[in-house]
Structure 1
Amino acid sequence: MFENTAHLFIELEQVCLQIAGEISQKDKSEKAIPIKVEKINDYEFNFRVGGDVLIFILQSNIVKLSDDTYLAKSKYLKSDDNLKYFGQILIYNFLSDTLTFGRLDDLGYLLGRVLLNMENKFFLEGDRKVVFNFPELKENPVTPEKMRALVEQLILSALDNDLLAPAFQDIMVINYHQKLEHTSSMGNPKKIGFDFFAKNRE
């Protein structure tokens, strides 16, 4: 099962590289959108698009759904206990400046968690706008078209989420250590927030 998840992880990286190439080909202006895929290691890569970065993380462990989750109670998973075991791929959204300036206190959002079972079918949790474009687990085998759609929708979700300025009171008083250590992050914005889905869609 891990092999299937690792293969899917590589496929997602290839999709990101393809999209990056297509955007670069179409946008050759002086003010072209910064776009780049960076492989960190076999378990992580980053996809920077404009002011956002999607961080894809392959989990090395196989997990089992708890029996009290709604998905575990479905007829599909009850038919074979082995179907309750999943490989995981996590996709976080950070601001590009967070990585560029090493702002350790900046928050990231889990835009998507892909759970892949032994039949190469996947279940998606995360931003509701993305999740609702994919069927339930038993009707959702991995296909190149779905992986392309997933990456495209994750990009749109990240780019469409506005930045919120911190409250004036939160940055009104700082000590000198904060100034020395966090100059690049003073007053940095945060995402307004996403409408996350991790519950029953029915």
Structure 2
Amino acid sequence: MHQDPTENIVEILLSKSTVKQKAYRNVCRAFKELEQEAQLLIDVISAKTTERDQDIKLSVEPVSDQEFHIRIAGDLLVFVLHTNIISLPEDYEYNKSNYVADQPLRKYLGQINVYNFMADSFEFNRLNDPGYLLARLLINSENYFIVEGERQIGFMFKSISAKPLDKVDLDILIKLIISQAADNDLVVPPFPNIRKITVREKLEKTQSLGAGNKIGFQMSYQNETKS
């Protein structure tokens, strides 16, 4: 006689649902605090830069409960809170860590992605201009977190956190993101690639002709684990 799996299904759904709801609450709270920390930092930077150059555009612009923008001169940083809780690929170092092995439900994560665009792309509605993923913040039901990114971001956050996320972490992350965006220069296409255009291209892309693109990068998987 086969055992009825109904109760087992119910327990699995309940346990997963509870963990995912906790992770989502954590990532929503982090998103709001991230926006608050961004505003505090922009206020400080603006006070310092205005003394020497009043034309530098700096602002934090709320868009919705799941999105806000930071304008840094010619850059626009787009912060997006994803409403779905995700898990990483099985071969990801985080999933192979003792931390997840001890409690597999820790693998469920809320995520915030940060994209780097040129501000002019939005101002002039240049729909084909690319943006690049600058950083990704992942948070689980226990409020432990992972940050993916390159250069300083990847160096500062090398593995799963040793403690729950707090405002100090968010302050450091915001500063690193803004610093990296400001240091990420435009690169124009080679001259032979742009010396000939069609009339259609001229009419459709007047504002973007000769414009550069932000340098993009691929996310690096974390190589260290929490023991």
Secondary structure of residue in 1 paired with 2:80: strand
Q: In the comparison of the two structures, how many residue pairs are matched?
A: 202
Superposed, which structure 2 residues align to 1:80-119 within 5 Å?
A: 80-119=103-142
The answer to whether the aligner puts 1:127 opposite 2:153 as a matched pair is no
List runs of 5+ in structure 1 lacking aligned partners: none
Say which one has the larger Rg: 2
- SS of the equivalent of 1:57 reads strand
Identity %: 39
Counterpart check, 1:64 vs 2:87: yes
TM-score, scaled relative to structure 2: 0.83
Runs of 4+ residues deviating >4 angstroms: none
Q: Tell me by how many angstroms 1:197 deviates.
A: 2.2
Spell out, residue by residue over 1:65-108, the C-alpha distance to the aligned partner (whole angstroms, 9 max, x if none): 22222210100011111100000000011111111111111121
CA contact (8 A) 2:134 2:149 kept: yes
Aligned counterpart, 1:197: 220
Give me the TM-score of the superposition, normalised by structure 1: 0.93
Shift in CA distance, 113/163, structure 1 to aligned 2, threshold 3 Å: same
CA distance in 2, matches of 1:140, 1:174: 55
How far off its partner does 1:195 sit? 7.0
**Larger relative contact order (CA 8 Å, sep ≥ 6):** 2
The 3-state SS of whatever aligns with 1:132 is helix
Closer/same/farther in 2, CA of residues 64 and 193 from structure 1, 3 Å limit: closer
More strand by share: 1
Tell me how far 1:165 sits from its aligned partner.
1.7
Give the partner amino acid of 1:139: A
Question: Are 1:155 and 2:178 counterparts?
Answer: yes
Q: CA distance change for structure 1 residues 25 and 176 in 2, over 3 Å: closer, same or farther?
A: same
Distance 1:57 1:139, change over 3 A: same
2:93 and 2:224 in contact (8 A); partners too:
no
* Range with greater deviation from structure 2 (113-122 or 27-36): 27-36
1:25 partnered with 2:75: no
> Which deviates the most, 121-130 or 30-39?
30-39
